Amino acid sequence: MVDGMGQTGFIIDYLHGKNANRLFRIGQGKANMNIYVGNLPYSTTREDLEALFGEFGVVEAARVVMDRETGRSKGFGFVEMADEAGKAAIEKLNGSEIGGRKAVVNEARPREDRPRTGGFRPRGERK
């Protein structure tokens, strides 16, 4: 499939409501699950997540969230994989020990809209 920019790839359509965290790859007709992985050791890498979740099925994407200022892991990440494989991984890995820490593994919730804080506010808007 070719996207609007002429590059090969998939268009990702985010659903609304209850299934907001599920991703559908258009043209393949299969659902992917976005999985939250928390309480990770700070030394965990993307490759570690791919290897761990790869035991349950094909990992479409994995990332460890890094602190912008320090470049150090924040201790959590996300893995995207097929629904069935994702459910099996959650069931098996939630509460298990990863690098000496009890992991929290569950289906990721959609990101909530948060008010922006900090930055410049004109003098008249201060309280």
Q: Which two tokens stand for residue 118?
A: 């900090």
CATH fit for domain 12-110, picks 1.50.10.10, 3.20.20.70, 3.30.70.330, 3.60.21.10: 3.30.70.330
Q: Which residue's structure tokens are 């990770």?
A: 40
Question: Percent of the chain beyond pLDDT 90?
Answer: 61
Tell whether the model's pLDDT for residue 17 goes beyond 70: no
pLDDT at 112: 80
What residue ranges do the domains of the chain occupy?
A: 12-110
At 78, the amino acid letter reads F
Burial letters 34-64, b for 16+ CB under 10 A, else e: bbbbbebeeebeeebbbebbbebeebbebeb
To the question of pTM greater than 0.95 for the whole model, the response is no
Distances (CA, A) of 56 to 44, 83, 117: 19, 11, 40
Instruction: List, for residues 38-91, the tens digit of each pLDDT value.
Output: 999 999 999 999 999 999 999 999 999 999 999 999 999 999 999 999 999 999
What does the DSSP 8-state code read for residue 8? B
